[in-house]
Amino acid sequence: LQEFRKEIMTKYPKKVGKKRAKSIVVSNPDNPPEIQANVRTVPGIITQRGCTYAGCKGVVLGPTRDIINITHGPIGCGFYSWLTRRNQTLPVDENDSNFITYCFSTDIQDSNIVFGGEEKLKQAIREAYELFHPHTIAIFSTCPVGLIGDDVHRVARHMMEEIGGGINIFGFSCEGYRGVSQSAGHHIANNGLFKNLIGRNDEIRGSLEYRVNLLGEYNIGGDAFELERIFEKCGINLVATFSGNSTIQKFENAHTADLNMVMCHRSINYVAEMMETAFGIPWIKVQPIGASSTAKMLRKIAQYFGEKKLVDRVEEVIAEEMVEVGEACKEARKHTTGKLAMLFVGGSRAHHYQDLFEELGMTTIAAGYEFGHRDDYEGRRVIPNIQIDADSRNIEEITVTKDATRYNPRKTEEELKELEANGMEFNEYHGLMKQMERGALVIDDLSHYEMDKLIERYHPDVFCAGIKEKFCVQKMGVPLKQLHNYDSGGPYAGFKGAINFYRDIEMIVSASIWKELKAPWESEVHIEATFVY
């Protein structure tokens, strides 16, 4: 693998090779090497990354059904982020609003670029309000409106006053170029959630027992529905999910939960930290992708609340669910054992899905994130050593302090210490490299060329990535499973999700059609040339 890394590097122009080399490392789980991550992509290498606007509007705020999200920008930005992540939602009755199927945009034109777009934005808000009467409207800035200097926050304040009646309108300065990837958009979105929504409503809804929030779950392919089913079965009261199958009211009540569980830490660890500081809610990392990891999550919740009633119920549910899981896994393993996977997904799935592959007896021989940070690879312990560059400084850091009236530590120092002594980890995640086999390749912001070479050389049984990679990879005779939107499959979270995944992967790695497909270099004469400059 070291050799492979060298071979790739010599193909790039020297400067590019030198930069990319820092983002390609060979795994050593005992002592994870430092990896370069969350830095600007080298222009021209063909990245799979998205933009800051996509991270803010598409990812974090997109799945909430009763907010009107207006994209202030050219229509393409709104269109791109319109349901592209296939996040599902389930209104409880016909009075429950669902705006997810709409695409709201100011559709700015050349004349707005010249004369400014704020009036058009005001008009769009008026129109959206007259048509739908929402209680919350968010405005998202795109690159061109940032460049011309439209102030979406000023427009939000103005329109909140004009419409009145307690409507909540706020803006996000999430111009596509603001950060090096979607990741900046997550941070901006998290700040906005905290400033404008979390903790606005103190009314306690639902049972007082076992109140938790799930952070960083976006209901792709119905994952949230499966997790809701499991929590309900265990008697765990899910106050809010950020933001799969969510509503504004759930965000406003989120501070009434007693435990925050962080699933996709990349996109939302900021909210967990802010809520701990302001309200005293501890947070733990959970990982309900994979049946055994789901069981582990449930046991952690039970341990945290420490009541026999919940511990027993959780064990009962696990035992019951694992019967079908075990059978499905055994069946799939007949065809999946020993097969090889590669996983290149955004910011946490390239790690999380390794649990499911392990359950299938498969090895992940190469993996990486599009836009993860060093802590997502190396673990949270490296955070103090991460250099803050100008691109990160571009993102607003908000100062959070104890809420004057509602700060209420859910556990005493002693209780937390005791839980820790019994194996519970607060404020912690270990990163992808701890899990990967020694010698596997870890690559950040994989380029198209590197992807081609990986496939050509190692010919994995399945390559997991997104729509941009899908058809290029399949033309090389390797099946590509989308792990952003699951193709037409899913859910893959929880127990039933694991069963779906086993079956889908078994089918994929057993299909003989892929053997019939030849990559161009396998069937044609290949001529190589060097461009001298």
* Interhelix angle 291-305/223-234, nearest 10 degrees: 40
* Contact indicator for 424, 304 with CB cutoff of 8 Å: yes
Q: How many residues sit in the footprint of ligand CFM (CB under 6 A)?
A: 16
Give the residue, chosen from 317, 328, 345, 443, that forms a contact with ligand CFM under the rule CB under 6 A: 345
| Marked catalytic residue, from 37, 54, 77, 257 | 54
**Residue 146 is a binding residue for ligand HCA (CB under 6 A):** no
**Residue 220 is a binding residue for ligand CFM (CB under 6 A):** yes
What, of ligand CFM, ligand HCA, none, does residue 84 touch, CB below 5 to 8 Å by kind? ligand HCA
What is the spatial distance between Cα 175 and Cα 63, in angstroms, rounded to a whole number?
20
In this complex, which beta carbon is closest to ligand HCA, that of residue 182 or of residue 392? 182
| Marked catalytic residue, from 49, 186, 255, 374 | 186
Residue 318 vs residues 40, 176, 284, 294, 325: alpha-carbon distances, Å: 44, 43, 20, 9, 10
Could you tell me the end-to-end alpha-carbon distance of the chain, in angstroms, rounded to an integer?
A: 30
- 85 is a catalytic site residue: yes
Q: Of 104, 183, 91, 185, which is closest to residue 146 (Cα–Cα)?
A: 185
What, of ligand CFM, ligand HCA, none, does residue 347 touch, CB below 5 to 8 Å by kind? ligand CFM
**Residue 218 is a binding residue for ligand CFM (CB under 6 A):** yes
What is the spatial distance between Cα 37 and Cα 375, in angstroms, rounded to a whole number?
9
What is the spatial distance between Cα 315 and Cα 454, in angstroms, rounded to a whole number?
42
Strands 462-465 and 441-443: unpaired
* x-marked contacts with ligand HCA along 28-67 as a string, rule CB under 6 A: ----------------------x---x---x---------
| Marked catalytic residue, from 20, 49, 72, 85 | 85
- Phi (first) and psi of residue 483, to 5 degrees: -110, 10
CA atoms within 13 A of residue 93's CA, in its CB half-sphere: 1
In this complex, which beta carbon is closest to ligand HCA, that of residue 194 or of residue 371? 371
* Contact indicator for 160, 44 with CB cutoff of 8 Å: no
Q: Is the bond preceding residue 479 a cis peptide, omega within 30 degrees? A: no
**Residue 179 is a binding residue for ligand HCA (CB under 6 A):** no
In this complex, which beta carbon is closest to ligand CFM, that of residue 189 or of residue 318? 189
CB of 277 to ligand CFM, least distance (A): 22
DSSP string, 453-495: HHHHHH--SEEEE-HHHHHHHHTTT--EEESSS-TT----BHH
Chain residue at closest Cβ approach to ligand HCA: 466
**Residue 467 is a binding residue for ligand HCA (CB under 6 A):** yes
Rounded to 10 degrees, what is the CA torsion of 495, 501, 506, 508? Answer: 170
CB of 263 to ligand HCA, least distance (A): 15
Question: Which tokens is 532 given?
Answer: 């001298």
CB of 216 to ligand CFM, least distance (A): 6
| Marked catalytic residue, from 37, 51, 272, 341 | 51
- 184 is a catalytic site residue: no
Chain residue at closest Cβ approach to ligand CFM: 346
**Residue 479 is a binding residue for ligand CFM (CB under 6 A):** no
**Residue 459 is a binding residue for ligand HCA (CB under 6 A):** no
- 54 is a catalytic site residue: yes
Sequence-ordered list of residues with C-beta below 8 angstroms from that of 391, at least 6 positions apart, any chain: 39, 40, 179, 180, 184
DSSP string, 292-344: HHHHHHHHHHHHHHT-HHHHHHHHHHHHHHHHHHHHHHHHHHHHHTT-EEEEE
Give the residue, chosen from 122, 296, 448, 468, that forms a contact with ligand HCA under the rule CB under 6 A: 468
Applying CB under 6 A, the span of 196-204, 325-333, 345-353, 451-459 interacting with ligand CFM comes to: 345-353
Applying CB under 6 A, the span of 137-145, 273-281, 390-398, 466-474 interacting with ligand HCA comes to: 466-474
DSSP string, 180-217: SSHHHHHHHHHHHHHHHTTTS-----S-SSSEEEEEEE
In this complex, which beta carbon is closest to ligand HCA, that of residue 153 or of residue 468? 468
Applying CB under 6 A, the span of 5-13, 69-77, 264-272, 511-519 interacting with ligand CFM comes to: 264-272
CB of 223 to ligand HCA, least distance (A): 12
Q: Which residues 359-398 are close enough to bind ligand CFM by CB under 6 A? A: none
* Contact indicator for 189, 61 with CB cutoff of 8 Å: yes
* x-marked contacts with ligand CFM along 15-54 as a string, rule CB under 6 A: ----------------------------------------
Q: Of 455, 432, 435, which is closest to residue 444 (Cα–Cα)?
A: 432
* Contact indicator for 432, 351 with CB cutoff of 8 Å: yes
CB of 265 to ligand HCA, least distance (A): 16
* Residue where the block lists tokens 């994130």: 369
Q: Which residues 166-195 are close enough to bind ligand CFM by CB under 6 A? A: 182
* Contact indicator for 354, 436 with CB cutoff of 8 Å: yes
Give the residue, chosen from 37, 188, 261, 264, that forms a contact with ligand CFM under the rule CB under 6 A: 264
Question: Which tokens is 409 given?
Answer: 């530590």
What three-state secondary structure class fits 102?
A: coil
Applying CB under 6 A, the span of 36-44, 186-194, 383-391, 465-473 interacting with ligand HCA comes to: 465-473
What, of ligand CFM, ligand HCA, none, does residue 267 touch, CB below 5 to 8 Å by kind? ligand CFM
Applying CB under 6 A, the span of 127-135, 394-402, 426-434, 478-486 interacting with ligand HCA comes to: 478-486
Secondary structure letter of residue 55 according to DSSP? I
The site for ligand HCA (CB under 6 A) is made up of 50, 54, 58, 84-85, 182, 346, 466-468, 482, 484-485
Enzyme catalytic residues = 51, 54, 85, 186
The site for ligand CFM (CB under 6 A) is made up of 55, 59, 85, 182, 216, 218, 220, 264, 266-267, 345-349, 484
